[in-house]
A and B are shown apart, each in its own frame.
Chain A
Amino acid sequence: MDQDSHCEIQIVSGAEMIVRGAINAGVRFYAGYPITPASGIYAGMMAALPGHGGVAVGASDEISALSYCVGASLRGAKAMTATSGPGFSLMAETIGYALMTETPVVIVLAQRLGPATGAATQNAEGDLLLAEFSVSGGYALPVFCPTCPKDAYEITVRTVNCAEALRTPAILLTEKEVTMTYETVDLHTLPRLDIVDRPRFSDGRPYLTYGYEDLCSIPPFSPVGGPRKVTVTGSTHDRAGELRKDEPEVLGVLRHLHAKVAERSEELSVVSEDWQDGAETLVVSYGVTDRAARFAVREARRQGKRVSHLTCFSLFPLPERALSNAAAGVERVVVPEENIQGLYRRQLTGVLGEVPYVGVNKVGTLITPEEILREIR
């Protein structure tokens, strides 16, 4: 390592990098409940947020934690909470409420082995579908996923920015092997990122709580307690926020909730492309398993195999253009994930076209480079 005065070497955990990213992205309200492997984020925010002029509180349970965050966000604060599978399950209804009310909020889902209580101190990548599809109606929810403590910083900032820009709940999906792994990081090399705030209402026209112009545009925000009446409800509503049952405007609002996220898959896409000309195999990976995939790809090329690699830091909306570009011309797609069912692999049907895809799936230990290499023909 070439340490000089332009270095800032620290040993940090993924949890600490998520805390750093959240604070730098402007999060000033945190409510949490401890759960392995997310507790480091809770403890980190409790220690650091007050000194940055923010509020960090412990809640009695996960439903309270997220509900406090929703309230704070309605009042105008950038808000975040962190949990694992069991806590996320409790938060499901409130996530739907945040989506329905277009309330920006970030939920960190630090995965552990499930189902139910599962194994608190054991890694897994099994909550992908829980993250994306817990909301009734299957409305699009942005889900981002880092691969290591270092990129957890940038991905956290992007997740906060996304929640704010789109006025939506956004999930930062991560796992024990990231949050609780300590690694050497040169903090000096962390990217400098623009911070995005929710669009604020400022013109003289009458304010509509959900006054979007086009289906995909984001309605300007005015805080509860601000100068314009804010009307919020979890019921179906019109653009003014008034409860309505099934009028055309209501149905339009529902389509808007989905379109504003789903139509932005290109804008929200965060991927790393490592293409090789004439590649016969494409490896698509995310989370800590991506690190084994990189190793495997490097080794495969050393052995003369032709393989491309796509790392997905944004999992939903599916980075469709990047996926179909990467798969163009390959004969086989390999998707390694630390879950038994091959959860992300099954989502790629339709995007990858006719290309056959195969999974590398297990739980209990990290997927190894060798296990992935075996599938790169």
Chain B
Amino acid sequence: MAQPVMKKEALPPYCKGCGHLHVARSLSQALERLGLGPQRVALVSDIGCVGLVDSLFLTHTIHTLHGRSTAVATGIELADSLLGSSEIKTVVMIGDGGATIGLLHLVEAARMNVDITVLLHNNFLYGMTGGQHSALTPLEFLTSTTRSGNFIPPMDLCTILGAAGAGFLARALATDTALADLVAQAIAHQGFSLVEIFGLCTGYATRYNERLTMATLKADLHTRGILLGIMKKEVRPAFAELYRSHAPSLPLPPPPIPHRFDHTLASPLRLILAGSAGEGVQSAAYLLTVAAALSGLWSAQKNDNPVTVGTGFSTSELTLSPEPIGFTGVERPDAVIVTSREGMDRVSAQAHAVGGEGVLLVDSSLPVPSSSGRVIRKAFRQAAPTMPSLAAVAAFLRVRPLFPLDALIEAVRGWGRGGDRAFRAVEAGAAL
């Protein structure tokens, strides 16, 4: 004998004849038929009169923000199935409002095939706030905000969610004697399920629309071609199953960087690499920091690029230091390495700021920048067309041997990307 899931003595907070109470009782019967005790059910209710069903149930009840019931239910179910052992069933009680504000959550839950059951209480308007029209209001329907009749056709949730991949979709009337059974089927379905349940709002809908009764509602649905019963019943793997079979295994932690080489830095060196997106500027900078670490130096690397990422300028500001680094800003760089026009345009002010002791390494295709630093122009773009920055970094190490070129080669080897081209870029740059 299943434990009761509804409070015996609770006073329903509903108007007489309200559809919500029928749905609540049908859910209660369905849960008892499925042998689900109150501890094994999470009832997530949205905002509106529908949300007040939580006061009637002995199950876990979670009354959420407007529209977010399905999203919170998704989180509960994901944790239950993937961090636990699927101990509970999660049921959502949602109305016109929640289904509209939270339409995306419904679509996503259907698409992901999250194992939750949504009971959509469609009473054609927003009851709690005073009978305003909703996205589910039929044409010509009278509400407090469609006094001369609604003129925008309603959306069909079942069709929308069917297209999103929902596996179990059904429609019923709140007063159907078979509703409890239908709800039980929906709950038992593995994966996302939704039952759209048409009911009467006796506070507003029937007052505005005098003809409206369960009988005229049924006839009306028939006229509109909205079929009652199970619309779709397809089983496909639920999200939890798909997740488990596709989850990546733990990535191997990268090996620590050993101290292999000696450096010659007595104080911090600040440099800027500038070029164009897609030319490995930020990778070259990264490789320089790894080479630095292999040589016992600390580093900080900050990158910049426009929002477009794949086009436009690409810069890296680096600090290399024999001591841990404090401030990471590079205002007065000791070196500026520029391999493209876009890069030059971006860092022209910093290039100008390079002092007498500093060096500017610039691709020979670019105009000579005005600067007090030592300007060295080399054909990086020619020497390594796909990785001119890396070639330039290798050339820089010849000009300022912070550590052996071998450290950079070792960094490229450990990187494991860029293939042969990366080694050749280093070789070519060093040879310039």
A contact residues vs B (CB 8 Å cutoff) = 1, 3, 7-11, 28-29, 31, 36, 47-48, 50-55, 57, 59-61, 63-64, 67-77, 79, 93-94, 97, 119-121, 177, 180-184, 187, 224-235, 242-243, 288, 291-292, 294-295, 365-366, 368-369
Contacts and interface: CB of A to CB of B under 8 A. Distances in A.
Nearest to B63: A233
28 contacts: A1-B293, A7-B259, A29-B78, A29-B83, A47-B251, A48-B251, A51-B247, A54-B83, A59-B108, A67-B68, A67-B71, A68-B71, A69-B75, A74-B76, A76-B83, A94-B68, A121-B306, A180-B302, A181-B302, A182-B289, A183-B325, A224-B88, A225-B42, A225-B60, A230-B60, A232-B62, A233-B61, A366-B329
Interface of B: 38-40, 42, 44, 54-55, 58-65, 68, 71-80, 82-84, 87-88, 104-105, 107-108, 243, 247-251, 254, 256-259, 286, 289-290, 292-293, 296-307, 322, 325-329, 331
A77 B79 contact: yes
A86 B170 CA distance: 38
Given A63-B71, A75-B84, A183-B299, A9 B257 contact: yes
Given A121-B307, A181-B301, A71 B286 contact: no
A226 B105 contact: no
Contacts of B58: 229
A224 B298 CA distance: 48
A55 B250 contact: no
Nearest to A117: B307
A225 B84 contact: yes
Most buried by A among B82, B258, B289: B82
A180 B303 CA distance: 8
Most buried by B among A52, A60, A119, A368: A60
A234 B302 CA distance: 42
A285 to B, nearest CB: 12
Contact of B256 (A7, A71, A228): A7
Given A71-B78, A121-B305, A181 B83 contact: no
A28 B84 CA distance: 11
Contacts of B108: 59-60, 64
A93 B76 contact: no
B39 to A, nearest CB: 6
A360 B389 CA distance: 36
Contacts of B243: 55, 57
Contacts of B304: 121
A191 to B, nearest CB: 16
